[in-house]
Amino acid sequence: MTTTVIDGLVVVVDCDTPVIINGQSALDFAVNIGYEHNCHDIAVNKAAIAEGFFDLSTGIAGEVVQKFVNYGFRLAIIGDFSGYTSKSLRDYIYECNKGGHLYFTADEDEAVKKLRGT
């Protein structure tokens, strides 16, 4: 796992294996990153998220987002989401991208822009 801090505002995490697999692991991850880098805006590549997150029926996405919101963190997930055919997930991604806590982005630049509010 590698981390990069952009302008002291956004931590970008690149990971080859899932580190966010449920609500508790999401909280542990966010708090550790936040403490280490004094930052509450985190961008991660899709590989850092357990595949179950993208199956909304598991409830993992809800748990993860709740932990991030409750503890004042924001998350951008970087990757290609075109392979998911679930209408529910496509709608979820659309709605999240209009909100202020969770974003699904195609690349790191877009993630950083969303998290910085630009």
Q: Kindly report, residue by residue over 78-110, the tens digit of the pLDDT.
A: 999 999 999 999 999 999 999 999 999 999 999
> 33: which residues sit within 8 A by CB, 6+ positions away?
3, 11, 13, 39, 42
Quote the longest CA-to-CA distance of the chain.
37
Q: Which of 35, 68, 34 is nearest to 49 (CA)?
A: 68
In this predicted structure, the answer to whether residue 118 has a pLDDT above a threshold of 70 is: no
Q: CA 85: distance to chain centroid?
A: 20
> Which tokens go with 12?
């970008």
What stretches of the chain show up as alpha helix (H) in DSSP? Answer: 23-37, 60-70, 87-98, 108-116
pLDDT given at position 80? 96
Residue ranges per domain, the chain?
Answer: 2-116
Domain 2-116 is found in CATH 3.30.750: yes
**pLDDT per position as a tens digit, 23-69:** 999 999 999 999 999 999 999 999 999 999 999 999 999 999 999 99
